[in-house]
Structure 1
């Protein structure tokens, strides 16, 4: 894909609006080299960046770089290094020809969802427990709780941590795999996963903490435990990444809010551009859609994410309520 170099040329509101309306999958099918864009179940990935996941509605997550978004502008900025102006002009058709509508619609037809199946379980969970407890600082009580309730296990073939999302009847509908070697960047959803069922740790109370990843959710539960709070009273939802859609809530969040009753939602996304953009937009949508009966808050980690914040706290010896420093929103 050819990158332009006119970063200082201004773009109009009309160009920006036109660029934001471009379907990312259609655009990549037309302009990326043959074979670069590949289907994986319901999503697409890139041959040159196999940790990339692009959904049929244009949302994308580049897991190895901890980046994500909901439109093609951000994608071109992140992946191809374009400036905002160059990305807008590229998508608006000034630097590339317009995608033929009928051809693009035919190419971008979403594939049928592949059959979902959980990876085979290992006989034990030793490596998963060691990774989450020793490398990530998650409290042993919380890890064991997840294992006991079939929300977490170690897969037999590669010894990945498998975080399971279930439906209302406790049937597995979603799984996210995370490598357990300390230096591993492997992260992948199981084939056929339904993203409207995220990793959800159900509590007895009315507060829902919403995170990008399952490890973030378990980190927040651990931080609350260290602050002397009853972590089992709260609810924790991991979305499996975030997008920056301005008009549609993440599917897992929407389903969870429509299934269970909450009084407070706390958005706990990463302290980076993608995470905070998504937090602002989801915050606005929640306030608009649930303004009368739902308190909505955001909580930004002091470092990159809440697992990093937990690890820093542990490294500083603040691993008990008497020695810890309470995070204002997490401690309520």
Structure 2
């Protein structure tokens, strides 16, 4: 970058923005020496800030999503959020133009603040009143954790402080939240916290109940108090799975895991993602417990006749599964499969496109020797769909589908294929069907909400001919 050029006067075209936002974000971060952890088809971005280590960001191709803070986007926004770059600096960086020597310099060594619990008040009257009167948590449950010094009231702000301890009973993590009953509540993870630990209770049974937040955990215990001290419970302080994995490593008796995340879009995706992570770590006995309302505290409010927030269904997931379930075989012409594919795709009927792809996949699978039926392919779409990976707007999904259709078209145009190529083409057809359903769901939801994307939110889709 030449000296004297003011970044704010650089104009970028839509194509520039598209190029920047479609960069493989995981590959970019790895090239910069950032810490990533492979989790199935996605990556976890692990980073530090003033409150400690974090691993709640999932990266999939050019998209990212922060499960704890419920926000996400594409490469440009990622650099703005996590590297504190301006829009112009992010664009130049992703397009391969150096803004300054600092842009490509090794990151400065991060020195975390030492962990220190907020000073405790001499009583917990305000916290006790808040948790029992406003949140309806049983007083004896609050008292139990207070005696263990896992709940206390801070002296300066009278916040409720929830403490996470290691296996030796030493505080390693803390989360504070305000006890005010008006306005937006204040919540913060105490600086220097080790997120491998969190607010928890460990019993003697083989059950571990996992929650998003401390109040959810306390509410569940209040709702289901029978022999509760025999079992184990942990609050993730959002959706940090590191605390769950640490707990499982330190307590080998825990075999049955119950994911008790919220009954909303974020909670449903968190449960799905955690289930996959736990399976990869060898834990197969994983079940989901779902609150009737938005979360367990809302269930507790309902029981006490107070106003509560209802559950929020995951509309995208529900629509995808419903549409997949209704797919039926369609007639295919083995002499003109490529042209059939092109015609259906160009018509914009993505449900029909998915049905055609599965019908064709069944034929190729049979010839290739694997013999997977239409019904089995359809079931694999339903069981294989991961809502936490289904991010991005219409233009991104249209671009992805277009690329798959082009590859599929190329395979269907070949006159001879080996048995292995037949089986691989069947899998490609199944993947194309999956992304056709994803795009169909996105378009349906967009029409329902009458929302449109802006160039800043997603890359622009380009017309691509066969």
Say yes or no: TM over 0.5.
yes
Select the residue among 243, 247, 251 that pairs with 1:256.
247
In structure 2, what is the Cα distance between the partners aligned to 1:144 and 1:262? 25
Equivalent residue, structure 1, for 2:215: 215
| CA drift at 1:89 | 7.9
Equivalent residue, structure 2, for 1:275: 267
| CA drift at 1:130 | 0.5
Which deviates the most, 160-169 or 104-113?
Answer: 104-113
For residues 73 and 232 of structure 1, do their structure 2 counterparts lie closer, same or farther at Cα, with a shift above 3 Å needed?
same
Equivalent residue, structure 2, for 1:141: 140
Equivalent residue, structure 1, for 2:116: 117
Secondary structure in 2 matching 1:165: strand
Secondary structure in 1 matching 2:156: coil
Higher helix share: 2
Count residues with an aligned counterpart: 264
Equivalent residues in 2 for 1:225-264, closer than 5 Å: 225=225, 229-242=226-239, 250-260=241-251, 261-264=253-256
The two structures have a TM-score, normalised by structure 1, of 0.67
For residues 149 and 74 of structure 1, do their structure 2 counterparts lie closer, same or farther at Cα, with a shift above 3 Å needed?
same
For the Cα contact (< 8 Å) 2:263–2:293, is it kept in 1?
yes
RMSD: 4.0
Select the residue among 62, 70, 73 that pairs with 2:58.
70
| CA drift at 1:274 | 2.5
Select the residue among 276, 279, 292 that pairs with 1:284.
276
For the Cα contact (< 8 Å) 1:22–1:91, is it kept in 2?
no
| CA drift at 1:278 | 2.0
In structure 1, what is the Cα distance between the partners aligned to 2:221 and 2:69? 33
Unaligned runs of 5+ in 2: 1-7, 33-46, 80-86, 308-466
Equivalent residue, structure 1, for 2:93: 98
Select the residue among 294, 306, 315 that pairs with 1:304.
294
Equivalent residue, structure 2, for 1:203: 203
For residues 131 and 167 of structure 1, do their structure 2 counterparts lie closer, same or farther at Cα, with a shift above 3 Å needed?
same
Secondary structure in 2 matching 1:175: strand
Equivalent residues in 2 for 1:146-225, closer than 5 Å: 146-183=145-182, 184-225=184-225
For residues 125 and 105 of structure 1, do their structure 2 counterparts lie closer, same or farther at Cα, with a shift above 3 Å needed?
farther
- Greater RCO, 1 or 2 (C-alpha within 8 Å, sep 6+): 1
- Kindly indicate whether residue 312 of structure 2 is the aligned counterpart of residue 315 of structure 1: no
For residues 20 and 274 of structure 1, do their structure 2 counterparts lie closer, same or farther at Cα, with a shift above 3 Å needed?
farther
For residues 298 and 79 of structure 1, do their structure 2 counterparts lie closer, same or farther at Cα, with a shift above 3 Å needed?
closer
For the Cα contact (< 8 Å) 2:216–2:296, is it kept in 1?
yes
For the Cα contact (< 8 Å) 1:207–1:234, is it kept in 2?
yes
For the Cα contact (< 8 Å) 2:261–2:290, is it kept in 1?
yes
In structure 1, what is the Cα distance between the partners aligned to 2:70 and 2:209? 34
| CA drift at 1:5 | 11
For the Cα contact (< 8 Å) 2:65–2:71, is it kept in 1?
no
Secondary structure in 2 matching 1:282: helix
For residues 75 and 263 of structure 1, do their structure 2 counterparts lie closer, same or farther at Cα, with a shift above 3 Å needed?
closer
For residues 20 and 78 of structure 1, do their structure 2 counterparts lie closer, same or farther at Cα, with a shift above 3 Å needed?
farther
For the Cα contact (< 8 Å) 1:90–1:96, is it kept in 2?
no
| CA drift at 1:78 | 11
Give the structure with higher Rg (CA): 2
For the Cα contact (< 8 Å) 1:128–1:180, is it kept in 2?
yes
For residues 22 and 201 of structure 1, do their structure 2 counterparts lie closer, same or farther at Cα, with a shift above 3 Å needed?
farther
Secondary structure in 1 matching 2:224: helix
For the Cα contact (< 8 Å) 1:213–1:239, is it kept in 2?
yes
Equivalent residues in 2 for 1:10-89, closer than 5 Å: 18-23=24-29, 42-43=48-49, 59=55, 69-71=57-59, 73-75=63-65, 87=74
| CA drift at 1:23 | 4.5
For residues 316 and 164 of structure 1, do their structure 2 counterparts lie closer, same or farther at Cα, with a shift above 3 Å needed?
closer
For residues 110 and 162 of structure 1, do their structure 2 counterparts lie closer, same or farther at Cα, with a shift above 3 Å needed?
farther
In structure 2, what is the Cα distance between the partners aligned to 1:251 and 1:81? 20
The two structures have a TM-score, normalised by structure 2, of 0.49
Unaligned runs of 5+ in 1: 27-40, 45-52, 61-68, 244-249, 318-332
In structure 2, what is the Cα distance between the partners aligned to 1:172 and 1:187? 19
| CA drift at 1:74 | 4.5
For residues 163 and 144 of structure 1, do their structure 2 counterparts lie closer, same or farther at Cα, with a shift above 3 Å needed?
same
For residues 123 and 289 of structure 1, do their structure 2 counterparts lie closer, same or farther at Cα, with a shift above 3 Å needed?
same
